[in-house]
Amino acid sequence: MRVGIVGTGLLGNAVGLNLLKRGHVVTAYNRTRSKTKELEENGAKIVDSPKKISENSDVVFSIVKNADAVRKVAFGDECIACGKHDGLIVCDMSTINPIASKEIAQEFANRGIPFCDTPVMGGPNVAITGDLVMMVGGEKATFEKCEKLFNDIANKVFYLGQNGTAHSVKLAMNLQIAMLALAISEGITLARASKIKPETFLEILNSTYFKTGMSENKAYKMLKHDYSPTFTLSNLKKDLDTINEAAKSFGVNLPMATKANQVYQDAEEEFGSLDYTAILEYLSKSK
């Protein structure tokens, strides 16, 4: 298929490289053109506006920072919607408030363009091999048209129903990430304070029902102070902002999400550009 990618950060770049390897024709746009270099070197066509993305694509994915950024590339100057043509489908792989996603979907519908929310779980390391987990919200007929493409991007694809549902689940999933990183970090911090090797703590944890992929993998990088970012602490803090906004919109109270947001906010200034697991460094320095 002809696939367009608007936003070639860590995730967008990896998704694009995977699609190129699978034989798709990829066109990419990023506000900072230098971030498209690797895609261009691997055969992607690079253009200078979201409009040119949609003009050259059957399916366009936006993978940008927040809902305001999605709206800008979708409906602003030289936008995705400006390049409308018969058969165009737009998908959003960003992490945004599900209410905003519904509003964006409605605006696309008003312009006669089918839209799916398609957030994913998994970082660039699995995106590049097509092993993400994807959640999809939108019309069933639109999902079915894109299903083969979605299966090239993710090894598990969950169709969840109407627009907004996928972003709701994505926020719930990212809340798990924030809480797990805090729990592991506080466990390591407590073990160290108790003069217990944190490796021993992890070995015992990973011998139980309570082990996770994070405790079995990333935790050992954390012990080595390896915070090479696959998903930055600033991005997770941004998602916690969105989680708390969504909770307020839905009329529910998430006290731990509120507290976690404050902790990540306090850590962001010093550690924001590092991997989100650098929350351990913040906790280690806090007295």
Q: What pLDDT score does 9 carry?
A: 93
Pairing of strands 89-92, 115-117: parallel
Confidence of residue 286 (pLDDT cuts 50, 70, 90): confident
Global pTM reads 0.92
Residue 285 CB: number of other CB atoms within 10 A? Answer: 10
Per-residue pLDDT reduced to its tens digit, 26-57: 999 999 999 999 999 999 999 999 999 999 99
Mean pLDDT of the chain: 97
N-to-C CA span, the chain: 54
Q: Which two tokens stand for residue 215?
A: 């405790």
- pLDDT tens digits for 170-181? 999 999 999 999
The answer on pLDDT for 287 being more than 70 is no
Q: What is the pLDDT of residues 263-281, one digit of tens each?
A: 999 999 999 999 999 999 9
Q: 230 pLDDT exceeds 80?
A: yes
Q: Which residues contact 280 (CB under 8 A, 6 or more apart)?
A: 181, 184, 185, 188, 189, 222
Q: Is the CB of residue 20 less than 8 Å from the CB of residue 43?
A: yes
- What pLDDT, on a 0 to 100 scale, did the predictor assign at position 98? 96
- What SS3 class is residue 59? strand
Instruction: List the structure tokens of 120.
Output: 């994913």
Q: For residue range 152-199, what is the model confidence (pLDDT) as tens digits?
A: 999 999 999 999 999 999 999 999 999 999 999 999 999 999 999 999
Compute the average pLDDT of residues 122-136: 96
Tens of pLDDT, residues 50-99: 999 999 999 999 999 999 999 999 999 999 999 999 999 999 999 999 99
Q: Give residue 200's identity as a one-letter amino acid code.
A: T
For a pLDDT cut of 70, what percent of the chain falls above it?
100
Evaluate whether 233 touches 272 at the Cβ level (below 8 Å): yes
Q: In this structure, what token pair is assigned to residue 41?
A: 């070197």
Q: Which long-range contacts (CB under 8 A, 24 or more apart) does 265-274 make?
A: 265/237, 267/233, 267/237, 268/233, 268/234, 268/237, 271/227, 271/233, 272/232, 272/233, 272/234, 272/237, 273/229, 273/232, 273/233, 273/234, 274/227, 274/229, 274/232, 274/233
